[in-house]
A and B are shown apart, each in its own frame.
Chain A
Amino acid sequence: GQNIDQPTEMTATEGAIVQINCTYQTSGFNGLFWYQQHAGEAPTFLSYNVLDGLEEKGRFSSFLSRSKGYSYLLLKELQMKDSASYLCAVMDSNYQLIWGAGTKLIIKP
């Protein structure tokens, strides 16, 4: 079966750095997406990785290792507004997204 694993919840301090991990087992791979979802709102796109390596976009970076079935989202200089759930999703061989349950990130002052 297809499976996306990410931690249920993480806590970090304002101004710090946090890394949210995602491991996956899917039938085929056509890229990995990270989304941010604030409580009661829609998911919004953060990043896309299809090749191994690190993609940097401002305070957010995303890393992919296809051989290990592993990705992480790195958030730097945490702000209170970064409190949200972060969703990892893999596009399978049918170009459908398989979603993880999300990691709820709590930022403390």
Chain B
Amino acid sequence: IAGITQAPTSQILAAGRRMTLRCTQDMRHNAMYWYRQDLGLGLRLIHYSNTAGTTGKGEVPDGYSVSRANTDDFPLTLASAVPSQTSVYFCASSDGDNQPQHFGDGTRLSIL
């Protein structure tokens, strides 16, 4: 079934540790996105990639990095996790401007 796969589903992490959230899509979409979702707030864009080999910063990029080596994969890395990064992280992809974004099931991350 075509879609977006995120891993892990959930994770508890000690502060200061490095963590990579994985995201893979098989729809051959050019654009991919990472969001965080916190209670009472809208989805906030962390980083995005319009096409393989390019990335850009969103609204809340500090403390996160991404890479886009190929069309399918868009991992998000927390270099040194802090408690304020406790959140639900969603990866999404779209087939271009003005096209709907399709979301993965999310990663629930708790930083202690």
Contact = CB atoms under 8 A, between A and B. Distances in A.
Interface of A: 4, 30-31, 33, 41-45, 48, 50, 87, 89, 91, 95-102
A50 to B, nearest CB: 7
7 contacts: A4-B42, A33-B101, A42-B105, A43-B103, A91-B97, A99-B42, A99-B43
Contacts of A43: 43, 90, 103
Interface of B: 40-45, 48, 58, 90, 97-98, 100-106
A4 B44 CA distance: 12
Contacts of A100: 42
Nearest to B35: A99
A3 to B, nearest CB: 10
A96 B48 contact: yes
Contacts of B90: 42-43
A4 B42 CA distance: 9
A95 B43 contact: no
